[in-house]
Every structure is written in C-alpha cells, then in structure tokens.
Amino acid sequence: MADAQLLPKRVPCRSTWLRARKARPQLVLSRRPRRRLCALRWCGRRRLRRRLLQAQAAGADWREGGCPVSRSAARRPKTAARSPAPAPAAAAAPGPTCPAPLPIPPVRPAGPGRALLLLPLDQGFTFSGICRVTCLYGQVQVLGYTISQGHPAQEVFSTYTHSRLTINAVHYSMPEKSKKETKREARALLRSHLNRDDRCWVMKNFSPLCSIVMLEQLKTPTVNFLVSHPGLSYVFMQESPTFQINSEHLALRSVGIRREKKKNGLRLTESALSAMEELVTVSCEEVDGCPIILVCGSQDVGKSTFNRCLMNQLLNSISCVDYLECDLGQTEFTPPGCISLLNITEPILGPPFTHQRTPQKMVYYGKPSCKNNYENYIEIIKYVFSSYKREAPLIVNTMGWVSDTGLLLLVDLVRLLAPSHVVQFSSGRSKYMPSLTPDYVDSMDGLYTKSKSRIRNRGFHLAEFAESLEFADEEKESPVVFTGHKLMCVQSDFAFRKTPRNRESHNKVLRDLAVLGYLGQLQPPVPKPLYPLHGLTPYQVPFNAVALRITHADVAPTHILYAVNASWVGLCKILDDVRGYANGPILLAQTPICDCLGFGICRGIDMEKRLYHILTPVPPEELRNVNCLLVGAISVPQCVFKSQRGLEGTIPYITTDYNFKLPGASERVGARESKETREEKVHPKPKLHRKIN
C-alpha cells in the first residue's frame, strides 16, 4: 500500500511550463523572454523597462493579476496519480487560486504616499530610496539610532552611493500583559494614525514584541534640487524591470522606496560592534571626563560609516556629540576642502550630501588633499581644535592616507590631539599599516614632532602646543601631560565597489554631490517650486569691502579676477581691517588661517560699478562679518553650468577655446601646464562676464 501512494519522479516537461506560465501574473516573463532579456544590450533593456513602466501606469488591475505558483506546484507532472487522501504538504501548498503568503516583513498601502510596515522581533527591512520613518508601536533602529513610539518622524536616506540602510525591529521592555491586552493597547495607539481597515490588517498579523512602522513620502528642497540635474536622479532611486507587480511594490513605489536584498544592506563586523559598545559605555559613564575618539585607517574601510553609527548610538544616551573633521577630501557635514568642528544633536541617517550643517568652527583649506602643504594643515587643525570645550565626547575623523608621509602626519595628530581611544581599521584589501599602540607612538618620529625628547612621566608633554590652546583657568594651573591612549583594532569587511582605477572619479562625484547639497539650501521650502540658480538674486559686494586670495596656486595679479569669476569661494572673516582701501580689488600676499562662515558662487563681476555678485545661502546677519574671499581648488560641479533650466542661447562660463597655460588655469594644484586633451573646460572665459540682474 505504501508503494501505491508513491508519486513518480518529477521530470520537467512542456506542459509543466505551460501551466506555470498561465498561472503567473501578466508581467512575469516566461522562459523564452527571460533568455532574450539576458541577451539584450543596455539600449534594449532600457526600452523594455520603459514599456513595462508604461504598462504599469496604464492601470492598477495587476494588483490582483494572480498569485505566484510555488515551484513544487508548478513542477508537479500531469500524470501524477491521485491518492484518495492527499498528503498534508500537498494540501498546504498554495495554488493559483490561493492567497499568496505575506512577505517578511509584510507591507500594506495606507493611503497616497504612505505604507505600513509590520516588523516582527529581530527582523529587518532593507530598502533603497528616501522616506520619513515613524514608529507607531514598538521600537526600531536605523543606522544605530533608536526610534521609539511617540518619537518624531525621522528622515532616512538610503542612496545608491552608499550601502543600503535597514530598519531593524529591536527588543523593547513592556509590562507583563496578556496578548489580548497588548492588542487592545496597540489598537488604541493606532486609532489616530490609521483607518479601520488598516487597523484590522495590523491586528490580524500582530504578534508580541512586534513593531509597527509608518513609511511616508519625503520631499526636501535639497533632494529636489539634486534630482533636478540630469543623471543624478539615480542617486536616490533606480528604476529596473520588475517582473512581478503587486500591491507591495506599488505601495513602496508611491512612498519613493523599493525593497532590497538583505545582502545589499549595511553590515558591521563583530569587532566594530564590540568597539562601538565599549565606546558608548565609556562616553556615558564620564569617569575620566569626556573621551576623545580618533578613528583612523586606509581608504574605503568604513571609517565614515562607523562614525555615523557611533554618533547615532551616542545620541541614544546623551544629548550631543562633538565632531572634528580632519579629512579634506570626504567631509561629513561641510563641502570638501574644510577642517571643521561641529556639535551634533540630531541623528545622521544618510550620506554627507543629505545633512550639510553649519559648523561651530570651520577653516577653508581649499584643496581635497594636504599634500605639499603639511604645515598649514597641522596649524589649521590646532586652530580649530582650540575651540573644543570638552563638554561632550569628541570624535575625530582622519584621512585615508596612512602610508609614508601620511603616517607621519597621523602620528603628529595622535600626539597633538591626545585621544583617549584610537580606533584603527584594517582590511585584507587595504595597505599595511602598523598598529598605533602607545609604545609605537612614543618611539616614532612624526613629521613635525619628535619621539624621545617629549616623553615625560610616561606621557607626552607638549609645551609649545599647550600655549596655542585656550584652556579654562583651572586647567592652566596643572601641566598638560598626555598619558597615552587605548588602541581598539577593528577588522573591516566592506564589499566596496571602488578600485584604484575608479576611486578618484567616484570621490569626485561625492564631492560634487556635497557641493550641490550645500547649494540646495538656496531653494525655498516644499511645496514651493524650485528656482534655477540663475534666477536667484545675488548679493552685491564692493571691491573694497573684501580681500582676495587664491589658495591653491600662484596667480598673477592681472588674472585674479579671471580666477574668481564663476568660482566656488569661501566667505571668511580675517582680523585685519580692509575698509581703508579706496578702490580694489584687495589682494592678500599670504593665505590666512581664519574662520570660514560659509560658501558661495561668484556668478558675475561688474567692472563698471566694481562689484562682485555672490550667490550664497549664508544669512545676511552673518554676511556682515565677511571681509575675505578665498578661492581654492574645489570647483563648481559641471552640471550647475550645463544643466540649468531656462537658459537659452550660449551658455555662459563654458568655452572650448581656453588657454591652459595661464597661471592658475590648470586643474592640477601648482601646475603651470596641462595636457590639452579635454575639448571642453568648465572654467571662466578669459573675458569678464557682464552683470546678471
């Protein structure tokens, strides 16, 4: 009898594929189109994607186009013997007429631009795109920051330039209640946010220690400004051929996000998590004062990601965190080329170009690298670090240059900043870097500091550096003795897409996005429409009101205005009084170390009235203190010149006839000649542009 109930061996046949094809929704491709799709070139894939999206936009009837057939049901031979009592597995297998099982975690549309997410305990939702996250019940965590019920909504940016973010449901404490009482409490909390049908769906799928999250569409002036430039919309959302359109896909698309695979999400190693846990504990206890945490390592090992997670976890327990930016190329809160000190009070839930902020202290260095001018780099760090009040934990971000001279500079920073903890990242793909133990720093000569002569009482005594810092009165009485640090080694396992061949171009894209993110502050708040930059009114600055300085190259005085026109300028404040000069322009002989209050674009120079036209988001009350304009190697992104809406005729500031042999005309720092291989150069014309009203 047992042999009579055995099914014959499952062999795929043509009838099996025909039945499975009929049971699929209308947008699911069959076997032959799938083979054709693999052979298509990029233009064919693009046409197919456009047709699928047009067909999807034609109507919403495909939400009920059928449920997918399980592989076991699709592969069951037509000649299978029917048993009088079907097996339980066969009865449980979903068929073409059965409702499809809910995805994990389940998603439900909750109105236009809104989606409801039900997260069981220890489950995560990895996505790409931007949205506003509100925790209606329970507790979730995004990039280390905990969002609980009753907390305000948080803006989350999961972009394609970085690892995808994941919304994780975490354990939360709750009093001992029965499941019925828990459901009654959750239903009462949801009454003000959801309608009856949505509440019934939530209660039907509700389980103990479950978190309920509302995902809403997010529109900000910065995001709208970035997306308005051709080729940058992919940063937040990438359209791809979707072979199955269901209610979940439509709900997430109305929000502006899409579900991603878990492997594409951000993952931290065990060593990184343990180091982060220890640093949070030390920062919250405050036994030995506020810790100074210096994070170092080579390029693309996850230093910036670690800093964001660490700041978010610290903000779960304390009100603010200080952040010292020493990486000129990949800055976190400012445009590139800056050394800054910030006080962080809000979570960091996105890449740098989505959270440009005003620093507490900032100096414009003017280049994405400190090569060929190391002494000025160290002096600027000392100047900015002197504003640290020692009232909150300080996180120091360093460059990814850790070989040769870069390693010597790092040793100088460890001595000058005297961190209590040094977090050193290493990876199998990165270059070798010696462990920065206290003994190694003691015995190693830096670029500007010596080893043996400054050791005293098993620590570092830096008299000349202590004189340049401003300490409180009670701190001046005791000698400044730095007693070493604790080294924390973190093994990184990031699967980054950068290679030595494309790293520079990828970093250039991130720097341009940071500049565009800063310029996005010029736009009015949503829902007002966007204004092109040429349609905004600039400030008029007289020649004799500000001094000029080109920081990255020597430029002849007769060509200074050519270099300033249509350039990215730092709006700075120097101690010297420049109001005594009658005409101008006023040129500085040396680059000053001074406060930078913001940035702008010199969009025109009026030679008749002797005025600069500056476009900047800095408020007018701050602009009254600006008396110096610094021009560096950080340039305005090309899309600002080429892709402005409303331009007709010849585009200003773009030329194909440019003399690269002019002093200061080369993109390379300090170069006088360059290979004339580019047919088009985004640079000021050798003729001053007229005033633009």
Nearest Cα residue to 310 out of 281, 286, 338: 281
pLDDT tens-digit series, residues 536-589: 999 999 999 999 999 988 888 888 999 999 999 999 999 888 776 777 789 999
Are 654 and 642 in contact, with CB atoms under 8 Å apart?
yes
pLDDT tens-digit series, residues 474-511: 333 333 344 678 999 999 876 656 666 677 888 899 99
Give the global pTM: 0.78
CA distances from 507 to 161, 301, 328, 496 (A): 10, 14, 12, 13
- What does the block give as tokens for 121? 């305990």
Nearest Cα residue to 10 out of 59, 71, 58, 52: 71
d(CA 631, CA 636): 11
> What is the pLDDT, as a whole number, of residue 318?
93
> What is the pLDDT, as a whole number, of residue 39?
65
Amino acid letter, residue 682: V
- According to the 3-state scheme, what is the secondary structure of 88-126? HHHHHCCCCCCCCCCCCCCEEECCCCEEEEEECCCCEEE
Crossing angle of helices 270-285/303-315, nearest 10°? 40
Could you say which residues of the chain have pLDDT below 50? 1-12, 16-17, 19-27, 59-101, 453, 455-482, 668-693
> What is the pLDDT, as a whole number, of residue 148?
92
